[in-house]
Structure 1
Amino acid sequence: MKPAPSSQMRFRDELKDFFYFLRHPRSARRLPGRVQGDGWYLDWFAPLPWKRLLQWAGMLWLINALVLGPIAVSVAGVGGAQHRLDPTRIPWVQAIIWAPIVEELVFRFVLRRPSQWLTVVPLAVFLMFQGPNWWLIQGLLVLCLAVWISRYTGMPRQALPAGSSWWRKLVGALQGRAWRFSSMRRYWRFFPWVFYGATLAFGALHLYNFQLNSMSWYLLPMLVLPQCLTGLVLAWLRVRRGIGASIVLHAIFNGGPVLLIVGLLKLFDGIPV
């Protein structure tokens, strides 16, 4: 992806837009500065403002390290939860490459393209829970092919006429065929529930990173506060910039701590990584 042209919004302006979006999640126009062209292609491959993505990643690292991370650690100590991650055996490929692609397809791809949910989400969920290996990498390629096919079987086509039979509707859903205007209007009416529901589900997924032992259920949300905040930013970015931007920010966000841990291990302990 090429660097984006200079943005018309300062970082503080994007922050204001983000907080306004949290109060009023909606079908929003893209952020200023986006180039014109094929909407589907630009959703994935629009030129990215790399400096701006690094600013967002830096802000998330800072808040999580100074505020939300210590809260999660304290709650884990009180509740007896233990983190599963072994810092000497970090799955860096999964953290930096696999997870950003698959998790963004599961939780955020359909936020702006709901008609493609049956084309993309089921296979993405399967890949997410299986983790990366050779034959599943082939599965990811199949998923990418399904997403590519959805470009031609989805939004460019007209919606099915009213009164279509159930099997035609099922085939249309599998194709990712465009929804009728009335269906899209209902979707955007319930979009805040979809937006926050996807964020909560993303946070809940990361409870798997812990051995919860006998921890009280009402403390569980505190363990994943960092992931919930990150999920909100990624979901906003997906709607306002595109799925490609959210995947890249997700990879940057995961990659920073991974590279830091690997560097510290090599520098101080000499543990092979």
Structure 2
Amino acid sequence: MRFRDELRDFFRFLRRPGFTPRLPGRKAGDGWVEDWFPALSVGRLLKWALFLWLVNLIFLGPIAVAAAGVGGATHRLSLDHLPWLQALLWAPIVEELVFRYGLRRLGQAWWLVPAAVAAMFMGPKWPGVLMLAGIVAVCWLPYLAAPPGTCRPLPWRYRQAYRGVFPWVFHLGSMLFAAVHLYNFNLHQTPPWLLPLLVLPQWLTGLVLGWLRVRRGIGASMLLHALFNGGPLLVVWLVIQAAPDLVK
């Protein structure tokens, strides 16, 4: 499947979010393995990351910068201590578990989302890291301890009801994902009506990550999340190396 075909599928998905069809390329076998370890090339992930970087750089980023200037908001990013570990490992795992894992695993969402939210607010310190590791272990254990196909799905009536509200769940989750990133700013006296503009890039990113989670799997959305975060940090690091006076 070509990238432009996936791009068309993404925009169709935004109009009518749904569980099917999965994108071609999934191997036959245990769906849990494909969910966490999708058959997806690094090149394809790079194309999606490039798409997000370009749209955010050319369109949504300038809007966010203008809104920050009008409202007086400033970013919390410290050029002295770039958050590599948080951006490349912590955020992709914990935020995908909070906002997107339950999109296709509703039977686990009732306990997983509150636990992952608690880990997210603990932050990447030992209590939060241990809790996050425990959440992933509990997600994997039923599938590792039982033969493929033996884990019981939700009753059919619940799945049908969830299908009806899924578009609302998907779009609300994307907006909440963007809203959480307001924490990246010192808001000062920013008017409330400007707040959504500050996180337009995160909103688009959440839409793409949600689509990828549904179509490819949670592993794919985690990988793209890490790649998306890593690109801007790498640019900032290179600029600092070329002009170290910027951090003084």
Work out whether the TM-score is over 0.5. yes
1:181 maps to 2:167: no
Q: 1:130 aligns with which of 122, 135, 138?
A: 122
Q: 1:263 aligns with which of 229, 238, 242?
A: 238
Conserved? CA contact 2:53–2:228, under 8 Å: yes
1:190 corresponds in structure 2 to: 165
1:53 corresponds to which letter in structure 2?
Answer: L
Q: Which has the higher contact order (CA 8 A, sep 6+)?
A: 2
1:251 corresponds in structure 2 to: 226
1:226 maps to 2:201: yes
Conserved? CA contact 1:119–1:150, under 8 Å: no
Matches within 5 A, 1:65-214: 65-151=57-143, 156-158=150-152, 178-214=153-189
Post-superposition CA distance 1:11-33 (Å, at most 9, x none): 11111000000001011121012
1:3 corresponds in structure 2 to: none
Q: 1:56 aligns with which of 2, 23, 48?
A: 48
SS for the counterpart of 1:127 is helix
Greater Rg over alpha carbons, structure: 1
Separation (CA, whole Å) in 2 of partners of 1:270 and 1:137 = 35
Post-superposition CA distance 1:179-209 (Å, at most 9, x none): 2101110001000000001000000000111
Separation (CA, whole Å) in 2 of partners of 1:190 and 1:156 = 27
Identity level (%): 53
Q: Structure 1 residues 260-269 or 231-240, which shifts more?
A: 260-269
Q: Name stretches of at least 5 consecutive residues in structure 2 with no aligned partner.
A: none
Q: Name stretches of at least 5 consecutive residues in structure 1 with no aligned partner.
A: 1-8, 159-177
Q: 2:191 aligns with which of 216, 222, 230?
A: 216
Q: Structure 1 residues 142-151 or 215-224, which shifts more?
A: 142-151
1:17 maps to 2:9: yes
Q: Aligned pairs, how many?
A: 244
TM-score (norm 2): 0.93
Separation (CA, whole Å) in 2 of partners of 1:79 and 1:49 = 41
